[in-house]
Amino acid sequence: MARIETTTTDRLSRERILEAASGIVEQDGLESLSMRRLAQELDVWPMSVYRYFRDKAELVDAIVDRATAEIGKSEGAGGPWKERLRSLLGETRSTLAEQPPEFRARFAAPELSPAAVRVTEAGLGALRDAGFSREAAASGWRGLLAYTIGFASLKEGDGEGFDHGLGLLLDGLEQERAAGS
């Protein structure tokens, strides 16, 4: 049996840094994330992290992207449009609800988050497929996204009541489309 070199700490990498950083945020909140504590948890010099991330802001950006990376990945183009939107926004709500408020705020400025861009494209696609004009789709999506982000912010309850209000919005949009307004 050859002696095995057990370097308990693997080589540093963006992925390993992000994993540790996400763990800190999940456990103790964003305000507990410091470059120094992160480095300590990785058993690395504080400055080593700066090889992989320009500064703390870039690191936080990457954490948010990672936390929201799965949203909207599984959405196909098939099925009734209301079901597609229910599924897309339900997934968005439940994922955002787990994140700190600062993370949710990024979804409201879609250009800052790849996931927000993807979700918006999927949502607009569903509305366009359903026959909404470009303007109606954009306006409708704005309301649906606002409702979803807001509900994710509500501290009390899980997603209770989310589907109900979402149904009101979707039915209302459907009625408007039928009326051709």
Partner DNA sequence: ACCTGAACACCGTTCAAGT
Binding site for a second copy (CB under 8 A): 101-102, 104-105, 107-109, 139-140, 142-151, 153-157, 161, 164-165, 167-169, 171-173, 176
Map the footprint of DNA across residues 35-54, applying CB under 7 A: 35-37, 45-48, 50-51
Q: Hey, CA dihedral for 49, 54, 59, 65, is it positive or negative?
A: negative
Residue 69 interaction partner, one of a second copy, DNA, none, beta carbon < 5-8 Å per kind: none
Closest CB to DNA among residues 43, 160: 43
Burial of 67 (0-12, 13-18, 19+ CB in 10 A): buried
Q: Which two tokens stand for residue 110?
A: 């879609």
Please, what is the minimum distance in Å from the beta carbon of residue 122 to DNA? 34
**Taking the CA atoms of the chain, what radius of gyration do you get in angstroms?**
20
Residue 101 interaction partner, one of DNA, a second copy, none, beta carbon < 5-8 Å per kind: a second copy
Burial of 98 (0-12, 13-18, 19+ CB in 10 A): exposed
Whether residue 72 contacts residue 91, with contact meaning beta carbons closer than 8 Å, is answered with: yes
Q: Is 56 in the site for DNA (CB under 7 A)?
A: yes
Residues that bind DNA (CB under 7 A): 33-37, 45-48, 50-51, 55-57
